[in-house]
Amino acid sequence: MKSSVITFPGSNCDRDMDVALKKFGFKNKMVWHADAELPKSDLVVLPGGFSYGDYLRCGSMASKSKIMQSVINFANSGGMVMGICNGFQILVETGLVPGVLLRNKYLEFICKNVFVKINDKKNKYFKNVDNEVLEFHIAHNEGNYFCTNDQLKEIEDNNQIAINYCDESGKIEDQFNPNGSIKNIAGIFNKEKNVLGMMPHPERMIDTSLSGEDGSLFFKNLINNLK
């Protein structure tokens, strides 16, 4: 399986993603933001970080960068595109997934483990994951997902919510919402479910010595689903 990780000048989780993808068998290539062409890929990842500094709305400048036109075309033709954290913010800015990401409710950066409940398994990202609840890791300042009521209805009707913040047992309640996201949304798909944007970092959960191992589950499963 071939993957590509896009490196924007301020990306800082690109190496971590490269390590994770390779660990689970992807042949990964790093792609520079100023390039025009995507290499042939089965999966394209927009990693976490601060793409162009994000002094403007997070991800807004990155969404207009040269490589993104190819990424958008790739996604529109059904290609698998996954945006993690800043990558999710970029996806939102391109319109590939609906909604916006606001500043966290308590106006503070949050770095910690969280639990997320898988809402939909009829897609290549979460199909065949045995667990209903995964322990992931978040590290962001702008992860407060928001959308209009109409958008929300559409997202729910199409079953586009990928994961919700919850507790260890899968209970989705306000107290387990770290950033104020509407409906505890931690990740969503586009309509066709080939594009996934999520705030949690599975690449930080690939080793028992790190924050945990549920990221390993995710990647192992992902590569199998793509085969």
Out of 3, 4, 16, 147, the only residue in the binding site for other proteins (CB under 8 A) is: 16
Angle (CA) 2-190-21 rounded to 5° is 25
Nearest to 17 by CA among 206, 187, 227, 194: 206
Helix (H, G, I), strand (E, B) or coil at 60: coil
Binding mask 135-174 for other proteins (x = CB under 8 A): --x-x-x---------------------------------
- List the catalytic residues: 85, 201, 203
Is 214 an interacting residue with respect to other proteins (CB under 8 A)?
A: no
CB atoms within 10 A of CB 106: 11
Out of 55, 130, 150, 174, the only residue in the binding site for other proteins (CB under 8 A) is: 55
Nearer to other proteins, 152 or 206 (CB): 206
Is 111 an interacting residue with respect to other proteins (CB under 8 A)?
A: yes
Backbone φ and ψ of 3, nearest 5° = -125, 160
Q: Tell me the residue type at 123.
A: N
Q: Rounded distance, CA 219 to CA 182, Å?
A: 27
Binding region for other proteins (CB under 8 A): 9-10, 12-13, 15-16, 19-20, 48-50, 52-55, 108-112, 137, 139, 141, 201, 203-204, 206-207, 209-211
